[in-house]
Chains A and B, each alone.
Chain A
């Protein structure tokens, strides 16, 4: 892909764009389009959640007591902090301060890792108690009375698992942005890759904002 240099002494942009500005806006529009498909993807799972909860409201109350409110709450705060550091990192790139931007990106990565570590402890506790989806659900181990409680854990693992995959992918993208920031590729004239990764990362936070009360804070 060949690059042109814009007339304003700005950064190089791909040849099929008229200007760096157009490249920026187009990429961002593409990212928003991708994000809304993500929303619809999780939307389908939220609808499945509504159907199961509507069918077995008392089961959802009983099963959700086996989730750790404190761990879920801490993870919510961790993700919010990671969203802040992501936003700050972009703000720093926009201000030509790549050093601070790198620092904030590292912080974001650390928060993301912290989220996954907490998730790991939650998951292993569930595995240990037989709180698993479908046929792997073991009522003898966890003492849940409701015969359909495995449905709650199907939803729980599917939604948090898919979200966790997004966190992992986000970490990869942030790591890539960190590398590019550290080699001074970005400036106030050219920073849209960081901004797009930021958009993706905020969406991951956004989805968790809904997952947390729906799974951990039922009745």
Chain B
């Protein structure tokens, strides 16, 4: 009656000697003490968790094989249990691989000066001169990009202006221009935006488009001043030293990812601002 028997042999269920239970119990107690003790020692890295999990698994096996008697069970119960364990291992293993070893998505810094130069040079001298064509092109671009904040007449009173602080620039006023009112100065503002204010950079527009915008804005000004010669020269130099850079798509995507990661918050605000500047235009221009 006490000797191990296989299932299906009458009523001879496997009956373990009581001694086995006590031995397993002692093993479990000892392992618990060991695992608590090892938690006070720093093995460095992820060794502590690894040791703790190995000990826990040995304990689990003791419970499963002897207390639960899986060691003496038939094939189907073993398959049921160990297959589940295998699926759990896949579940845990793949998740861990993803969480702990995912390819680092921190974007690579791109040095713009290493990018291939575009074949189309930008002729700053030509673009810096206002022509009626450019002004009318600028007017269109203004309606698409600027009117919601700066207003239809450029007085800084567009529908979105009420919510902004500081208020958008009134182009008709002659005082308080951060970068100045000359061609190169306004170009700088359009290209870079004004950090710390709701004015976003419009570097996404081509230089031609930005110059067109500059000329339209200046056409609204009373007595637009001539550009500071030095500023214009430096702008010219900027484009000649680094002729218009055209980003390959892969590089551009890296830059975008970098931008997004660098400042999630700022990016959101920026997106809001750009959104208000472009998305609301439809109803304004109609």
Contacts and interface: CB of A to CB of B under 8 A. Distances in A.
A95 B22 CA distance: 17
A50 B63 contact: no
Interface stretch (B10-18, B258-266, B271-279): B10-18
Contact of B84 (A40, A46, A205): A40
A86 B25 CA distance: 11
Contacts of B39: 69, 213, 216-217
A175 interface: no
A73 B48 contact: no
Contacts of B32: 73, 76-77, 80
Contacts of B52: 213-214, 217
Interface string A1-35: 00000001010000000001100110011001101
A3 to B, nearest CB: 17
B92 A51 contact: no
Interface in B236-255: none
Contact of B81 (A36, A46, A50, A76): A36
A5 B63 CA distance: 34
Contacts of A188: 1, 11
Contacts of A40: 84, 87-88
Nearest to B9: A21
Nearest to B85: A39
Given A199-B68, A213-B56, A217-B39, A206 B49 contact: no
A105 to B, nearest CB: 15
B25 A81 contact: yes
B92 A47 contact: yes
Interface string B76-92: 11001100110110011
B64 A50 contact: no
Contacts of A54: 96, 99-100
B53 interface: yes
Contacts of B1: 188
A98 interface: no
A77 B29 contact: yes
B67 interface: yes
A133 interface: no
Contacts of B59: 209
A25 B67 contact: no
A189 B91 CA distance: 41
Contact of B11 (A21, A36, A43, A214): A21
B108 interface: no
Given A80-B25, A219-B42, 11 more contacts: A20-B11, A21-B7, A29-B80, A33-B80, A43-B92, A50-B92, A51-B99, A83-B63, A210-B53, A212-B35, A213-B49
Interface of A: 8, 10, 20-21, 24-25, 28-29, 32-33, 35-36, 39-40, 43-44, 46-47, 50-51, 54-55, 69, 73, 76-77, 80-81, 83-84, 86-88, 91, 94-95, 188-189, 198-199, 202-203, 205-206, 209-210, 212-214, 216-219
Interface of B: 1, 7-8, 10-11, 13, 15-16, 18, 21-22, 24-25, 28-29, 32, 35-36, 39, 42, 48-49, 52-53, 55-56, 59-60, 63-64, 66-68, 73-74, 76-77, 80-81, 84-85, 87-88, 91-92, 95-96, 99-100
15 contacts: A10-B11, A36-B80, A39-B85, A44-B91, A50-B92, A50-B96, A80-B29, A84-B21, A84-B24, A88-B18, A94-B13, A202-B63, A206-B63, A217-B48, A219-B49
